[in-house]
């Protein structure tokens, strides 16, 4: 990385269709040259191309992508429901214990301070 400011790359990643067409060699020479420049300029695009090229059967890429997106949505929905469950009412014991410790600390301080 040239600079810490270079982490925010302004170029958008290549689309799925562009990567798949590149892998299937269904692009003309000019488009191929442009795609290769974009791939070389971005580590993200390079990793995406490397991962897609690992597929033996290129027709399964769309099915696998759809399946991964479904699993990701399911996982996100689970974490959202867990966050909703963690409201202030379910944490009453934590609040009570914290208050008890705080009161005991104040009482202990006052007892030690005024017993001299």
pLDDT > 80? residue 5? no
**Residue 7, pLDDT above cutoff 60:** yes
Kindly report, residue by residue over 9-50, the tens digit of the pLDDT. Answer: 567 778 888 888 888 888 898 988 988 888 888 888 889 889
Q: Count of residues for the chain?
A: 116
Q: Tell me what pLDDT residue 3 has.
A: 63
Among left, alpha and beta (phi > 0; psi -120 to 50; other), residue 25 is left
Burial of 39 (0-12, 13-18, 19+ CB in 10 A): buried
Q: What is the pLDDT of residue 106?
A: 97
Q: What is the pLDDT of residues 61-85, one digit of tens each?
A: 888 888 988 999 999 888 777 766 6
Neighbours of 20 (CB within 10 A): 18
Would you give the DSSP letter of residue 3? Answer: -
């Amino acid at each position: 990385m040239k600079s810490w400011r270079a982490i925010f790359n302004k170029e958008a990643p290549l689309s799925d269709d562009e990567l798949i067409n590149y892998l299937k060699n269904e692009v003309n020479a000019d488009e191929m040259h442009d795609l290769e420049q974009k791939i070389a300029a971005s580590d993200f695009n390079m990793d995406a191309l490397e991962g897609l090229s690992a597929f033996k059967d290129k027709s399964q890429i769309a099915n696998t992508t759809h399946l991964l997106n479904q699993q990701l949505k399911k996982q996100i929905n689970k974490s959202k429901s867990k966050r909703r469950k963690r409201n202030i009412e379910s944490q009453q014991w934590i609040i009570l214990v914290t208050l008890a410790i705080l009161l005991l600390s104040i009482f202990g301080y006052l007892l030690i301070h005024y017993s001299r």
